[in-house]
């Protein structure tokens, strides 16, 4: 695959940003969008718009078909058994909230335990914390090791006979650690514990096969997969979606509404109340096609090359300290520079057009554990090149110069 050609498919790189060529190293936060995705939104609104699943006129039927086509594309992309196992949400955050809320309602009571890890994003902690408040449940955190990874043994250590669900990241957005999710699922299932995987960082970078992973729930963020904002996916095994109560109430999710009572709609409508992010769902189909065209194996290989090159380069740069050293690692490099706060690094890099993130990356538990208030993070997407990493390295040297290091 030719990265220059791929990069040309992203309009954001056409023009200078603040007089600089954009070096975008913030894809773990959100990826840039290829032209096909942007155009699809425009075309849908200008030529094909209608609400879905309600009216019988031509446009409504056509829009409904397009909307459902994305569901089928996602089903195939992640190898789900049934298209009804794909629920559209406003993002991965809502997908996790949906599970925490409905599973919590039905299956959690005082004293029950939910097992997370220390490297979870806030979106895979706060929804469970609500239950801690509402139902007096306990939250346990499997510990990270010195390499910034969570091992199967660390998970096993925290499982008790009170553990009712395990919810873990596929890939850490800070250390880049790829968790042994298949083994975690096997272990959990041997004890009859369901598993939710927060796949925000997994889905854009790794091959997904729900039959192989065998998890109960998998949450996906559309905007990190070269897709629009406002769209996420909850994959859930059909047995769960049939068993759990609905999440939000409203139009579209009902079967029959009477003064005396209400019956709910069939899957997948049961979990899609109200008018959904129709244009985004339809455009997300283009993101899937875009990734399929390149091939996830090629994306993985390219990002691994960037990662190896980046790690080698930054390790050679004195005073740069790389956070975590996981054996299995995705395209994320978090780092600190002795004597320069990450925010100052980010501001100085930005002056050269190098866009990174600084802060706790919504992982305060992890940063507390590492005893770091903040880190700087460079994360990769399919459009990045080794040249981008060279520019990052040069800009880091500029930081050091300004701070007289």
Partner 1 sequence: MDLKDLYQEIILDHGKNPRNLGKFDNYNKDAKGNNPLCGDNVHVYLRLNENKKVEDIAFEGHGCAISMASASIMTDMVRGKEEKEVKEIVSDFLGMIKEKDSLETNILKDDEKTKLMSLSGVKQYPMRVKCATLSWHTLTSALDNSDQIVKTEE
Distance CA 282, CA 275 (A): 13
Interface pick for partner 1 out of 96, 215, 291, 358 (rule CB under 8 A)? 358
Size of the site for partner 1 (CB under 8 A): 20
Interface pick for partner 1 out of 16, 81, 293, 343 (rule CB under 8 A)? 343
Would you count residue 344 as binding partner 1 (CB under 8 A)? Answer: yes
Smallest gap, in angstroms, from Cβ of residue 367 to partner 1? 7
Would you count residue 7 as binding partner 1 (CB under 8 A)? Answer: no
Smallest gap, in angstroms, from Cβ of residue 157 to partner 1? 28
Residues 359-388 that bind partner 1 (CB under 8 A): 359-360, 364, 367, 373-374
Q: Which stretch binds partner 1 (CB under 8 A): 105-113, 197-205, 328-336, 339-347?
A: 339-347
Among 314, 297, 301, which Cα is nearest to 376's? Answer: 314
Would you count residue 339 as binding partner 1 (CB under 8 A)? Answer: yes
Would you count residue 341 as binding partner 1 (CB under 8 A)? Answer: yes
Whole-number Cα distances in Å, 247 to 50, 100, 108, 199, 293:
25, 10, 16, 20, 35
Smallest gap, in angstroms, from Cβ of residue 121 to partner 1? 14
Would you count residue 402 as binding partner 1 (CB under 8 A)? Answer: yes
Would you count residue 239 as binding partner 1 (CB under 8 A)? Answer: no
Interface pick for partner 1 out of 342, 355, 377, 391 (rule CB under 8 A)? 342
> What are the residue numbers of the active site?
362
- Looking at the Cβ atoms of 236 and 340, the one nearer to partner 1 is 340
Q: Which residues bind partner 1 (CB under 8 A)?
A: 18, 339-344, 347-348, 351, 358-360, 364, 367, 373-374, 402-404
């Amino acid at each position: 695959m030719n990265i220059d050609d791929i990069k040309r498919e992203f309009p954001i790189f056409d023009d200078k940003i603040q007089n600089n060529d954009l070096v975008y190293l913030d894809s773990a936060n959100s990826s840039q969008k290829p032209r096909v995705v942007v155009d699809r939104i425009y075309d849908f609104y200008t030529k094909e718009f209608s609400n879905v699943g309600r009216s019988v006129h031509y446009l409504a039927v056509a829009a409904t078909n397009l909307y459902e086509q994305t569901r089928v594309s996602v089903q195939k992309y992640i190898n789900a058994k049934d298209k009804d196992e794909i629920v559209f949400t406003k993002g991965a955050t809502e997908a996790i909230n949906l599970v925490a809320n409905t599973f919590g309602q039905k299956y959690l009571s005082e004293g029950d335990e939910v097992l997370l890890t220390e490297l979870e994003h806030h979106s895979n902690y706060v929804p469970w914390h609500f239950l801690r408040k509402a139902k007096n449940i306990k939250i346990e955190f499997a510990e990270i090791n010195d390499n910034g990874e969570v091992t199967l043994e660390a998970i096993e250590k925290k499982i008790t006979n009170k553990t009712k669900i395990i919810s873990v990241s596929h890939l850490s957005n800070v250390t880049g650690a790829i968790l042994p999710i298949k083994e975690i699922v096997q272990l959990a299932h041997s004890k009859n514990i369901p598993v939710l995987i927060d796949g925000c960082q997994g889905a854009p970078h790794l091959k997904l096969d729900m039959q192989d992973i065998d998890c109960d729930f998998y949450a996906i963020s559309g905007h990190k997969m070269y897709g629009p904002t406002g769209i996420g996916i909850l994959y859930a095994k059909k047995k769960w979606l049939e068993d759990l109560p609905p999440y939000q109430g409203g139009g579209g999710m009902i079967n029959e509404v009477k003064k005396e009572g209400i019956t709910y709609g069939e899957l997948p409508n049961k979990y899609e109340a109200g008018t959904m992010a129709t244009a985004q769902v339809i455009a997300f189909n283009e993101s899937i096609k875009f990734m399929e065209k390149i091939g996830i194996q090629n994306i993985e290989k390219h990002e691994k090359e960037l990662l190896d090159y980046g790690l080698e380069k930054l390790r050679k740069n004195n005073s740069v300290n790389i956070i975590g050293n996981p054996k299995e690692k995705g395209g994320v490099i978090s780092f600190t520079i002795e004597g320069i706060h990450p925010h100052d690094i980010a501001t100085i890099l930005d002056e050269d057009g190098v866009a990174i993130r600084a802060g706790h990356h919504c992982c305060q538990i992890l940063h507390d554990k590492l005893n770091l208030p903040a880190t700087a993070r460079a994360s990769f997407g399919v459009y990045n090149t080794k040249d981008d990493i060279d520019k990052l390295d040069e800009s880091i040297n500029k930081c050091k110069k300004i701070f007289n290091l």
